[in-house]
Structure 1
Amino acid sequence: MQKDNCIFCKIAKHEVPSHKVFENDEVLAFLDLSQVTKGHTLVIPKQHADHVYDLSVEDAQSVFAVVPEISRALQKETQAAGINILSNTGKVAGQSVSHFHIHLIPRHDKHDGFGAKWEVHNEDYTAEELAILANSISTHL
């Protein structure tokens, strides 16, 4: 179901212009208006889903199936040394548009405008605690 007030739904329906990179019946990829690096592309399902939690299996398959192809095209065009593939789910994770999307950010060097840094807390968890956590998570699948 499309949402009337969703900018990405409007882009998917071609009601709002975009700089399209790829399109098929289920997926649209277009340049992000806020380019972190040259070629920064967003990949969205045309079917609205607020978060990754809300994606149908079919829409997830459709989106993730085209990510390698689009990434290869970005690499060829931009001559990027690498690419960051990320998705933010929820405001606390940095999601600013409530329509699931994947960012493809071509990378040239560590000082090209994008940074992702986290602190590792290996010492906070024993192997036993990690085993219990993994088992507990898997009970929800």
Structure 2
Amino acid sequence: MDCLFCEIVKGERPAHVVLDDGPVVAFLDTRPLFKGHTLLVPRTHYETLADLPADLLEPLFAAGQRLSAVMESELGAAGSFVAMNNRISQSVPHLHVHVVPRNRKDGLRGFFWPRTKYDSDDEARAYADRIRGALG
């Protein structure tokens, strides 16, 4: 099975990892809604939330809770957007939670999600370092 996120988890594909904590891994989205947009995945491949074993719910959502707090405390966002898709609009068929920094009038409306880019790999690395550092 070829899975982009499994390759990232195994270290076979480069990514700006911000959290590598037991059963979960988080890394920057390469096409972020806003800079700091992070993807949180279970280390083991599960396609949807319904597939995730009950004992992984707490570690996954506890990590999501920590990441959402960092969007405010470290990145200075006014809040965060936390979401996941199951099959429909799931561009990689590996369960993943989007944790996105949000600010008022940031341009995100409904389900129209404009994407942005980091100016360079160095800028992405700097965002990853800030988030990773804040997570301890």
Q: TM-score range by the shorter chain?
A: 0.7 to 0.9
Where 1:60 maps in the other structure, the secondary structure is helix
Whether the 8 Å contact between 2:71 and 2:79 is mirrored in structure 1 is no
Where 1:66 maps in the other structure, the secondary structure is helix
The residue number in structure 1 matching 2:74 is 77
The residue number in structure 2 matching 1:58 is 55
The Cα shift of 1:78 comes to 1.6
Taking structure 2 as the reference length, the TM-score comes to 0.76
C-alpha distance in structure 1 between counterparts of 2:76 and 2:6, whole Å? 31
Unaligned 5+ segments in structure 1 are: 118-141
Larger Rg: 1
Taking structure 1 as the reference length, the TM-score comes to 0.74
Whether the 8 Å contact between 1:37 and 1:114 is mirrored in structure 2 is no
The Cα shift of 1:67 comes to 1.3
- What one-letter code is carried by the residue in structure 1 that aligns with 2:100? I
The residue number in structure 1 matching 2:93 is 98
**Larger RCO (alpha carbons 8 Å, 6+ apart):** 2
The alignment status of 1:89 with 2:86, answered yes or no, reads yes
The Cα shift of 1:115 comes to 2.5
C-alpha distance in structure 1 between counterparts of 2:87 and 2:64, whole Å? 21
**2:109 maps to which of 106, 112, 115:** 115
The percentage of aligned residue pairs carrying the same residue is: 38
The Cα shift of 1:19 comes to 0.4
Unaligned 5+ segments in structure 2 are: 112-136
Cα deviation code 1:38-80 (max 9, x no counterpart): 1100000001100111100122221111111121122122211
Whether the 8 Å contact between 1:37 and 1:113 is mirrored in structure 2 is no
- What one-letter code is carried by the residue in structure 2 that aligns with 1:99? H
May I ask how many residue pairs the two structures share in their alignment?
111
Where 2:95 maps in the other structure, the secondary structure is coil
The Cα shift of 1:27 comes to 0.4
The residue number in structure 1 matching 2:124 is none
- What one-letter code is carried by the residue in structure 2 that aligns with 1:35? P
